[in-house]
Amino acid sequence: MGSDYDDTPPGIPLWFKIGLVIVAAIGVWLAVGILFATLRVALAFAGYVIVAFLAYQFGKWVGHSSAREEP
């Protein structure tokens, strides 16, 4: 008795699976890159805010100290 099926397995072709893995890898790479870029900008902005706050507090302290010394 002969078979009605040929030797190719059913399902998604191998070239499509490989292409899907490559596209997914590029997408993950871009997503992680965007995430790290966003975190870097947020960290830099937070650093600027912290330094500005500390400089303001130091300036207030110097101003109060110098105002007390005047007659």
Q: Could you tell me the residue ranges of all domains in the chain?
A: 14-71
**Higher pLDDT residue, 34 or 4?**
34
| Percentage of residues in the chain having pLDDT higher than 70 | 80
pLDDT value of residue 65? 80
pLDDT value of residue 3? 54
User: Backbone dihedral region of 11: left (phi > 0), alpha (psi from -120 to 50 degrees) or beta?
Assistant: left
User: Backbone dihedral region of 33: left (phi > 0), alpha (psi from -120 to 50 degrees) or beta?
Assistant: alpha
* pLDDT tens per residue, range 40-57: 999 999 999 999 999 999
As a whole number of angstroms, the distance between CA 43 and CA 35 comes to 12
